[in-house]
């Protein structure tokens, strides 16, 4: 259930959002656009205080309506520390992530576009109220898909000539990060057109502009949506990023104030209006499942982590971390074949040192009596960010700073039903037989609908991706780079094939099975809450 509460983050809690079609973007007459261009007209920068105006809070995939706890966490941990002292307002956007949000809902591209238009309208309405200026801009917060929605709104506002010092964006886990965002990493235009996967309704649409509006972007290291490897032929790095789509991408609202404050600001172009912050990972997602094993889990993790981190970091062109190669975080950066700036003697030394450190750490763990003490899986370090994210969202939503697991379940079911309408049945064992029968038929229908994205995934993997790869190789060959084109196509396939299988086949099946189990247990009123409350207290 925690994974259902973690936003786009994980694959459980997804949205509907059908019908949330925004009106065409209109620039209110009250906006005096004659006096402003989309150029910075004052000293307002990404470092400027956020002021005392209104902050518009956008949800994430699976959270079309940001819950109260989500809004509170956004303000407490990301806005207030940047000098925000105004009021917050949740903005309802589609936040659909097809097929995980239901096969009858918006495609991901449609969700991006409609969400951007809705948000742009909300921003211009705030400006039209006459209380917005450079010292008190409209602040906009978005997480995951919400950051892409912000990106779309940003472009619309620029087209309308909305002054750059009237809006300040804050983004978490941005899939459109210029260097690392998955929407830019694989944005290799063919004949001038960004690649798209029609059966998924997804276009690799490129990066968030760095020079339109003051923006702060936060990324957790190894977040597969926002910090994807530069060199995807490194399959270890890809696997680490895939697991980071859960462990890292779901943790932004669960970080401590110190972790956010200590984020590393990456270098960017002198004319960039955007500040980019990297939050170092607390653990390596690839090895995080080892931490779930009793007794032997920690020694195994500590044995493998030092050397494995080096191998994973090679996928970013680094040895020590996932950002050493970044010299301009504002520059759109697509994938490459192999890193060219590495000293392989240093790599060998780092691997040797990592092996030695791992052995020493594992031996120390085995000699520590605490290793043999029974512990809850909830104490696993890799889960702490996810757990704290859910804890803050639910606690703030129910008005209880120490929510029970029963609270977690109730809020989770409510959010899930909001995200995928009709997915949670209200039928119980005491309901009329016809209602129970209809609920059973609805479950079977939903399970059958799961076959559509599976078929679409096979179509994408067997036709669309090979077609794009051939076109890419042909384009590279025409430029005299046939071998490089073949290599880069293989590198992209190394990442995109398992990603497509995971999102288009595995995740929908897991989601369907999970919903069946929830509805089965729900036949017995209160059973889910009773089971949840058997779990230990949230750390």
Phi-psi region of 144 (alpha: psi -120 to 50; beta: other; left: phi over 0): left
Please give the sequence-ordered ranges of beta strands (E in DSSP) within 62-172, or none if there are none: 87-91, 138-143, 167-172
Please give the sequence-ordered ranges of beta strands (E in DSSP) within 85-166, or none if there are none: 87-91, 138-143
Q: How far is CA 61 from CA 6, 56, 94, 147, 246, in A?
A: 10, 17, 8, 10, 13
| pLDDT computed for residue 44 by the predictor | 66
Q: Which residues are catalytic?
A: 144
Strand partners, 170: 141, 216
Query: Per-residue pLDDT tens for 463-512?
Result: 878 888 888 888 888 888 888 888 888 888 888 888 888 878 888 888 88
Strand partners, 220: 279
By three-state DSSP, how is residue 259 classified? helix
| Rounded-to-5 percentages of helix, strand, coil across the chain | 50, 10, 40
Low-confidence ranges of the chain (pLDDT < 70): 1-44, 102-104, 535-539
CA pair distance 220, 390, nearest whole angstrom = 17
Strand partners, 84: 51
Query: Per-residue pLDDT tens for 111-138?
Result: 999 999 999 999 999 999 988 999 999 9
Phi, psi of 245 (to 5 degrees): -65, -20
State how far Cα 110 lies from the chain centre: 18
- CB neighbour list of residue 412: distance below 8 Å, 6 or more residues apart: 1, 4, 5, 13, 390, 394
Q: Report DSSP state, residue 348.
A: H
Long-range contacts of 497-500 (CB under 8 A, 24+ apart): 497/461, 497/465, 498/238, 498/239, 498/242, 499/242, 500/197, 500/200, 500/457, 500/460, 500/461, 500/465
Please give the sequence-ordered ranges of beta strands (E in DSSP) within 128-237, or none if there are none: 138-143, 167-172, 196-197, 202-203, 214-220
The closest alpha carbon to 198, from 423, 425, 460, 534, belongs to: 460
Q: How far is CA 113 from CA 103, 110, 156, 388, in A?
A: 18, 5, 10, 31
Q: Show the DSSP H helices in 32-92 as ranges.
A: 68-74
Question: Please, what is the Cα angle at 134 between 90 and 257, to 5 degrees?
Answer: 55
| pLDDT computed for residue 194 by the predictor | 87
| pLDDT computed for residue 15 by the predictor | 30
CA pair distance 207, 497, nearest whole angstrom = 22
Is the distance from CB of 41 to CB of 134 less than 8 angstroms? yes
Sheet holding 87-91, edge to edge: 87-91, 54-58, 138-143, 167-172, 214-220, 274-279, 264-265
Query: Per-residue pLDDT tens for 144-155?
Result: 999 999 999 999
- CB neighbour list of residue 236: distance below 8 Å, 6 or more residues apart: 286, 308, 311, 312, 315
Handedness of CA 260, 261, 267, 272 (dihedral sign): positive
- CB neighbour list of residue 463: distance below 8 Å, 6 or more residues apart: none
Q: Report DSSP state, residue 5.
A: G
CA pair distance 140, 168, nearest whole angstrom = 6
Question: DSSP assignment of 403-470, as one string?
Answer: --HHHHHHHHHHHHHHHSTTSS----TTS-HHHHHHHHHHHHHHHHHTHHHHHHHHHIIIIIHHHHHH
The per-residue b/e assignment along 251-262, b for 16 or more CB within 10 angstroms, e otherwise, is bbbbbeeebbee
Within 13 Å, how many C-alpha atoms sit on residue 201's CB side? 18
Strand partners, 141: 57, 170
Is the distance from CB of 149 to CB of 116 less than 8 angstroms? yes
- Per the omega criterion (within 30 degrees of 0), is the bond before 99 cis? yes
């Amino acid at each position: 259930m925690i994974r259902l509460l973690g936003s786009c983050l994980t694959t459980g809690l997804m949205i509907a959002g059908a019908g949330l079609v925004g009106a065409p973007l209109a620039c209110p007459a009250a906006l005096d656009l004659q006096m402003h261009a989309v150029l910075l007209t004052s000293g307002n920068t990404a470092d400027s205080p956020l002021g005392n105006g209104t902050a518009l809070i956008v949800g994430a995939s699976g959270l079309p309506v940001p819950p109260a706890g989500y809004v509170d966490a956004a303000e407490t941990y990301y806005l207030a520390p940047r000098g925000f002292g105004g009021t917050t307002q949740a903005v309802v956007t589609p936040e659909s992530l097809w097929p995980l949000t239901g096969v009858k809902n918006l495609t991901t591209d449609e969700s991006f576009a409609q969400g951007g238009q809705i948000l742009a309208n909300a921003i211009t309405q705030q400006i039209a109220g006459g209380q917005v200026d450079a010292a008190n801009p409209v602040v906009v917060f978005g997480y995951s898909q919400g950051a892409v929605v912000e990106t779309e709104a940003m472009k619309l506002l620029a087209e309308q000539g909305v002054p750059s010092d009237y809006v300040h964006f804050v983004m978490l886990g941005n899939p459109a990060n210029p260097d690392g965002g998955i929407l830019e990493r694989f944005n290799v235009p063919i004949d001038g057109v960004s690649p798209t996967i029609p059966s998924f309704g997804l276009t690799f649409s490129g990066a968030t502009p760095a020079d339109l509006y003051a923006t702060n972007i936060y990324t957790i290291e190894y977040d597969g949506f926002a910090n994807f490897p530069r060199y995807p032929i490194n399959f270890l790095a890809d696997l680490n990023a895939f697991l980071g789509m859960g462990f890292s991408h779901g943790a932004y609202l669960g970080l401590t104030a110190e972790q956010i404050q200590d984020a590393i600001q990456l270098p960017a172009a002198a004319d960039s209006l955007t500040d980019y912050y990297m939050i170092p990972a607390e653990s390596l997602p690839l090895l995080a499942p080892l931490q779930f094993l009793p007794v032997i889990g920690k020694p195994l993790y500590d044995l493998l982590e030092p050397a494995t981190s080096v191998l994973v970091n090679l996928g970013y062109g680094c040895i020590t971390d996932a950002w050493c190669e970044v010299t301009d975080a504002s520059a759109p950066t697509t994938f490459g074949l192999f890193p060219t700036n590495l000293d392989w003697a240093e790599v060998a030394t780092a691997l040797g040192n990592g092996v030695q450190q791992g052995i020493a750490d594992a031996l120390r763990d085995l000699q520590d009596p605490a290793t043999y003490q029974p512990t809850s899986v909830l104490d696993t370090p890799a889960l702490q960010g996810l757990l704290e994210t859910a804890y803050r969202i639910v606690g703030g939503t129910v008005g209880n700073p120490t929510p029970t697991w029963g609270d977690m379940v109730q809020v989770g079911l409510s959010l899930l039903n909001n995200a995928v309408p009709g997915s949670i049945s209200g039928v119980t064992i005491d309901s009329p037989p016809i209602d129970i029968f209809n609920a059973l038929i609805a479950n079977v229908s939903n399970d059958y609908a799961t076959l559509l994205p599976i078929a679409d995934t096979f179509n994408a993997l067997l036709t669309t991706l090979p077609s794009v790869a051939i076109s890419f190789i042909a384009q590279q060959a025409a430029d005299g780079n046939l071998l490089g084109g073949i290599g880069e196509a293989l590198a992209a396939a190394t990442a995109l094939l398992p990603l497509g299988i995971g999102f288009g086949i595995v995740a929908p099946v897991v989601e369907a099975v999970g919903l069946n189990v929830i509805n089965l247990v729900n036949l017995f009123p209160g059973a889910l809450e009773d089971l949840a409350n058997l779990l230990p207290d949230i750390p």
